[in-house]
Amino acid sequence: MKKITSVCPYCGAGCKLKLVVEKNKIIRAEAADGVTNQNELCLKGYYGWDFLNDTKLLTPRLTQPMIRYEKGGKLQPVSWDEAISYTAKRLKAIKEQHGPRSIMTTGSSRGTGNETNYVMQKFARGVLHTNNVDCCARVCHGPSVAGLQVTLGNGAMSNSIGDIEHSKCLLVFGYNCADSHPIVARRVIKAKENGAKIIVCDPRRIETARIADQHLQLKNGCNMALVNAFGYVLLEENLYDKEYVAKYTDGLDAYREVVKGYAPEDVEHLTGVPAHMVRQAMRTFAAAPSATIMWGMGVTQFGQAVDVVKGLSSLALLTGNLGRENVGVGPVRGQNNVQGACDMGVLPNQFPGYQDVVDPEVRAKFAKAWGINVDDMDDKVGVRITEVPHMAIEGEMKAYYIMGEDPLQTEADLGLVRKGFEALDFVVVQDIFMTKTAEVADVILPATSWGEHGGVFTCADRGFQRFEKAIDAKYNVKRDWEIISLLATEMGYPMHYDNNQQIWDELRELCPLFYGVTYEKMGEMGHVQWPCPTLDHSGTPYLYKDSKFDTPNGKGQLFAAEWRAPAEVPDADYPLVLCTVREVGHYSCRSMTGNCAALQTLADEPGFVQINPTDAELLNIKDKQLVWVSSRRGKVISRAEVNERINLGSVYMTYQWWIGACNELTQDNLDPISKTPETKYCAVNISQIADQ
Ligand code: SF4
């Protein structure tokens, strides 16, 4: 029996754990003393490894390469040589006929690791010659990256997960940490025990609201109005830090001009929050010696998400809550390595280390390092994954190489996404399970899973951590970066790596932010937070020391925007608001947790729709009853969960897969800057199954 040190493959909390292995089989997981988790795990950490035993509870493991030679034909098992040569031939032909920008690629924010993401974006930029590379950050915290890069300079948490419990005020906005990051939720509870004031802004009475000093139960879809009202109170009541604002920020006059129309009393009808509560919240926030703002997808999955992120960071700037310990802004990233995928440049606008693709000097640096002609590199920002369906339907996108993502389950408006896939000439899926997307692929490239390989992840607070291989893969699968390297070589760009560290050292050399993060420094239990620019640097627990911001003029940028209504509001036919949410026992589309026996036992149904008792009574819906949920785009079955924590007029669903996923219902109103869909808001109706 041996114990292998790893990092949990689920959420961005970055919990370290030990996998106990006997005869090439994992038999249990134990908590390890990681920097973020301190010997604690949630149930996904303890029981979320079982999918490696190929339980076939939900979806079968991909065990060999397969090709569907003709549209409508069957997937046939093939050798690796055939799979690589066929894929390379098809991609080359499409590139020659339609140009490099007709091919889309994705990195993966899950168990594959940073090294693979680096190699994937190198393949896109260096071999296909396109910046069309993106990841699921686009559908979750893309707005946090885009917003914070403008107002503060870096699109990441400014503080550390460990800092949260020492902050004296937590403003928790659209973030249900008890379900999405249970180990971060523990820090919130500890902060409360340490005397912090907790202010929760959420339409539902989430777990954190139960321990909050104030719960502002705002109406769905009015985040910008409430954030502006907060700004109004800070200015009108002179609660802001005038000296700090004068010294370290820009844009106060323009900010004041916008928020002056958002007196809490004047927007009460919009926000649904009594004005005195808004005022009290800001008095508490501004009076705290240290305050932290945390947010989740309740902020980012809206058509006006980037504006709200900028507005939230402005609240921190107005009160001087940046650039020191125990304060800051915390967009708590969802998937375990979504921060890492962004760090590694699987973004259409940035190379690894957040270096802009439109900067000629940066392009020249990468071209030289990769041994390619700089004129072959794409000098324009690439396509986002949420734009692919539209472009495919219009004939502008021809091929899609998807690694470790399942857009046919996880993207908004699945009817539209399916039409996009039908219009594509060639779909390659590199994954570990037969996901919904894998089912329609022309080529399947089966990869090793977390547990079967090692590497480096970045957790939500910018901390790089190593995870190790625990068992040998049983099937005819290959490491993700090895598959990409074989494809690159077959397409005429020789690419070979012996191990993860070789890749890591190559990317370190190209990224000043990460240069000092060596394998040795990370060691077995280390957690090294970027920026870490030199070999003798120990990492950066909080950003913007002494309030020096990484913006062009070094100042924090204040920002407010007029509130915009969501794209689709309820009416007589569809009277309720649907908001998509997470569940604590499963992760995302459940492709991994759904194949873990213990987790399936704890939450064995494919999902639920939560509804307030008053709405349920009006619609004659009983608790636990099967219901139809319908929107203008589709109709799915779910089970009603009548729950008084739910606000009137709204219902909440997980990804689920009864008959149809919740994304059959959602719509793709995209934020104009980040192109993130508004999956937190669309109009639906609910009816008893018997009525249909
Ligand atoms: Fe930690 Fe998140 Fe894994 Fe739970 S799911 S053990 S909180 S990393």
| DSSP alpha helix (H) spans, 413-493 | 414-423, 436-439, 480-490
Neighbours of 185 (CB within 10 A): 24
Say how many Å lie between the CA of residue 360 and the centre of ligand 1: 40
Say how many Å lie between the CA of residue 10 and the centre of ligand 1: 6
Closest atom of ligand 1 relative to the 184 alpha carbon: 7
**Does residue 15 have its Cβ closer than 6 Å to ligand 1?**
yes
Residue 207 is predicted with a pLDDT of: 94
Residue 692 is predicted with a pLDDT of: 46
Instruction: Say which amino acid occupies 271.
Output: T
**Does residue 182 have its Cβ closer than 6 Å to ligand 1?**
yes
Say how many Å lie between the CA of residue 27 and the centre of ligand 1: 18
Residue 85 is predicted with a pLDDT of: 98
Residue 598 is predicted with a pLDDT of: 85
Close Cβ partners of 301 (under 8 Å, ≥ 6 residues apart) = 139, 140, 580, 676, 677, 678, 679, 680
Residue 271 in tokens: 């926000």
Across 190-219, average pLDDT: 97
Q: Which residue has the tokens 């993207």?
A: 411
* 251-286 pLDDT tens trace: 999 999 999 999 999 999 999 999 999 999 999 999
Residue 214 in tokens: 């104030």
* 341-399 pLDDT tens trace: 999 999 999 999 999 999 999 999 999 999 999 999 999 999 999 999 999 999 999 99
**Does residue 463 have its Cβ closer than 6 Å to ligand 1?**
no
Residue 610 is predicted with a pLDDT of: 96
User: What is this structure's pTM?
Assistant: 0.95
Close Cβ partners of 93 (under 8 Å, ≥ 6 residues apart) = none
Instruction: Tell me: pLDDT of 587 over 80.
Output: no
Across 664-674, average pLDDT: 94
Cα–Cα distance measured from residue 422 to residue 692, given in angstroms and rounded to the nearest whole number: 30
**Bridge partners, 199 (sequence order):** 171, 214
Q: Identify the structural domains of the chain with CATH numbers, from first to last.
A: 66-140+336-529 (3.40.50.740), 142-332+552-557 (3.40.228.10), 576-691 (2.40.40.20)
Residue nearest to atom 1 of ligand 1 (CA): 15
**Does residue 403 have its Cβ closer than 6 Å to ligand 1?**
no
Say how many Å lie between the CA of residue 491 and the centre of ligand 1: 39
- Phi–psi pair at 534, nearest 5 degrees: -130, 165
**Does residue 225 have its Cβ closer than 6 Å to ligand 1?**
no
How far is the first Cα of the chain from the last one, in angstroms, to the nearest whole number?
A: 56
**Does residue 483 have its Cβ closer than 6 Å to ligand 1?**
no
Cα–Cα distance measured from residue 88 to residue 82, given in angstroms and rounded to the nearest whole number: 10
Secondary structure of 567-623 in the HEC alphabet? CCCCCCCCCEEEEECCCCCCCCCCCCHHHCHHHHHHCCCCCCEEECHHHHHHCCCCC
Across 48-54, average pLDDT: 87
Residue 578 in tokens: 């649907």
Instruction: Tell me: pLDDT of 691 over 80.
Output: no
The number of CA neighbours under 13 Å toward the Cβ of 29 is 27
Residue 416 in tokens: 């539209």
Residue 652 in tokens: 């909440």
- Helices (H) then strands (E): counts for the chain: 25, 28
* 611-650 pLDDT tens trace: 999 999 999 999 999 999 999 999 999 999 999 999 999 9
Residue 308 in tokens: 């709200």
Residue 659 is predicted with a pLDDT of: 67
Cα–Cα distance measured from residue 7 to residue 450, given in angstroms and rounded to the nearest whole number: 9
**Does residue 26 have its Cβ closer than 6 Å to ligand 1?**
no
Cα–Cα distance measured from residue 517 to residue 531, given in angstroms and rounded to the nearest whole number: 9
Task: Classify the complex by whether its ipTM is higher than 0.85, answering yes or no.
Answer: yes
Average pLDDT, the chain: 95
pLDDT exceeding 90 applies to what percent of the chain? 89
